[in-house]
Structure 1
Amino acid sequence: MKKSIIAFLTLVTIASCSKKESTDSVHITGNIKGLKNGTLYIQRVVDTALVAIDSIKIDGNSAFEADVKLESPEMLYLFLDRGVSNSLDNNIMFFAEPGNLNIETNLDNFISSAKITGSKNQELYEEYQKINSRFIDENLSIVEPRFKAIKRQDQRAIDSLNEKQDKNIKRKYLYATNFALNNKDHEIAPYIALAEIYDINVKFLDTIQKSMTPKVAKSFYGKKLTKYVADIKQQQPK
């Protein structure tokens, strides 16, 4: 009886310390410094399109909060409807997972100033993006000289730049593959496979899929990766 009471009190303590935390939802809080009026939309991808699943009206108070049901950790989007402009700086990606998540940013630099805490998958995604951005920058640096080489019909320069671009893409894909394998116990692994290297040789996707832990394999992206790999294998000639 004494042990039962202790156990009950322990559960009560944990529950009180984890207010708003649920095994199947994320409690999102945040603040957008400088925002006086506007509407925030929390979006998710449904059949390749972004669909609003919640809206928050901002009227004087720049702080906000929302609760979103999750099947499992998932990439969501925080869209700001400024009401007066069509700024491209209006949609923050964040990897939501059950529990509490906080987003702090400002109106002038909505995306670049965003600081997101409370999600391990988000931490890993930011880590991945730091290195991946180097490959993106390298690819962009090739675009202009390649365009100029094509314009002046300099085949030697074109071939050299094409080779440089191919090597950069291979390094990017290798990094993404290794990152997914090294984080096979988090949902970021199948997400990267599907979002970043979906067109890589299926043997690499198959390796990532088989490396996933049981928990990740049962997740939203884990199931999608398993189906995607199976579909590709089915289409291959026997």
Structure 2
Amino acid sequence: MKKSIIAFVTLLLLSSCNEKGSKTNLHITGNIKGLKKGTLYIQRVVDTTLVAIDTINIDGSSAFESDLELKSPEMLYLFLDRGVSNSLDNNLSFFAEPGNITIETSLDGYLSGAKITGSKNNDLYEEYKKINSRFRDEELTLIEQKFNAIKSNNPKAIDSLSAKQDSNIKRKYLFATNFAINNRNYDVAPYIALSEIYDINIKYLDTIQKSMSPKVAQSLYGKKLTKYVASIKNQK
């Protein structure tokens, strides 16, 4: 009888451990070269606010790891509390998805030197950002040129630069739309639609929403995009 009770308790404990382990489907490992002491917070957006879902204390070793549960791919943020300021330079975004993700960076180049592997959605988003930065750089150049034209009171130049700005914005939005449609099988598609071109003509958002694969349509950002498109249509 005693052996039966011990066996039953052991079975319960194993079952509990397996149940606990099944709740985590994302394993993050990383290293922040040069960091000896500090606190890392893995955050997600909840109702427009960043909320910590894991806290990692760094004391001596710059390596870290975390196990989390994701219902679907999601943009997460690795915030480094240096004990000095809450600068945006301390918040590293990465598109997480179930599986194994590695984050390699350094204390000096926390954002600029970060290398993230293991997430296809993150790879695609980095590809998108690289091309999209060209539109942003062009916009900054046009703003400077337009400012100088206004200072020199040159109406012709102002009109020309305004037209170039409009053209740059249209090309930027068209690129984002095509990128989302071409990557309809990944969660990065609805995320870009929601975060980058949410104010574009509804017909483009509708096209992205309808192009999503069934799996992506049922994901976190897929559902948000569907709800957002429906809300805009209801306003008309």
- Given the two structures, how large is their TM-score scaled by the length of structure 2? 0.88
Question: Offset at 1:84?
Answer: 2.7
Counterpart-to-counterpart distance in 2, 1:145 and 1:170: 19
Contact 2:26/2:70 (8 A) holds in 1: yes
Counterpart-to-counterpart distance in 1, 2:79 and 2:207: 35
1:69-108 residue CA offsets vs partner (Å, 9 max, x unmatched)? 2120000011111113454421111000011101000000
The residue that corresponds to 2:102 in the other structure is: 102
Counterpart-to-counterpart distance in 2, 1:87 and 1:217: 34
Counterpart-to-counterpart distance in 1, 2:137 and 2:216: 31
Matches within 5 A, 1:62-141: 62-141=62-141
* Equivalent position SS for 1:89: helix
Change over 3 Å in CA distance of 1:137–1:22 after alignment to 2: farther
* Equivalent position SS for 1:144: helix
Unaligned runs of 5+ in 1: 1-20
Change over 3 Å in CA distance of 1:229–1:110 after alignment to 2: same
The residue that corresponds to 1:184 in the other structure is: 184
Is 1:202 paired with 2:210?
no
Contact 1:33/1:105 (8 A) holds in 2: yes
Identity of aligned residues (%): 73
The residue that corresponds to 1:157 in the other structure is: 157
The residue that corresponds to 2:50 in the other structure is: 50
Counterpart-to-counterpart distance in 1, 2:209 and 2:74: 17
Matches within 5 A, 1:5-20: none
* Equivalent position SS for 1:223: helix
- Given the two structures, how large is their TM-score scaled by the length of structure 1? 0.87
Change over 3 Å in CA distance of 1:73–1:33 after alignment to 2: same
Question: Offset at 1:22?
Answer: 6.2
Matches within 5 A, 1:140-151: 140-151=140-151
1:43-82 residue CA offsets vs partner (Å, 9 max, x unmatched)? 1111112111111111111000111221200000111111
* Equivalent position SS for 2:56: strand
Unaligned runs of 5+ in 2: 1-20
Change over 3 Å in CA distance of 1:66–1:160 after alignment to 2: same
Counterpart-to-counterpart distance in 2, 1:88 and 1:193: 23
The residue that corresponds to 1:215 in the other structure is: 215
Counterpart-to-counterpart distance in 2, 1:126 and 1:170: 21
Letter of the 1:212 partner, please give it.
M
Counterpart-to-counterpart distance in 1, 2:58 and 2:31: 10
Counterpart-to-counterpart distance in 2, 1:226 and 1:31: 37
Change over 3 Å in CA distance of 1:23–1:165 after alignment to 2: farther
Give the structure with higher Rg (CA).
2
The list of structure 1 runs, each at least 4 consecutive aligned residues, that deviate by more than 3 angstroms after superposition, is: 21-24, 85-88
* Equivalent position SS for 2:28: strand
Letter of the 1:162 partner, please give it.
S
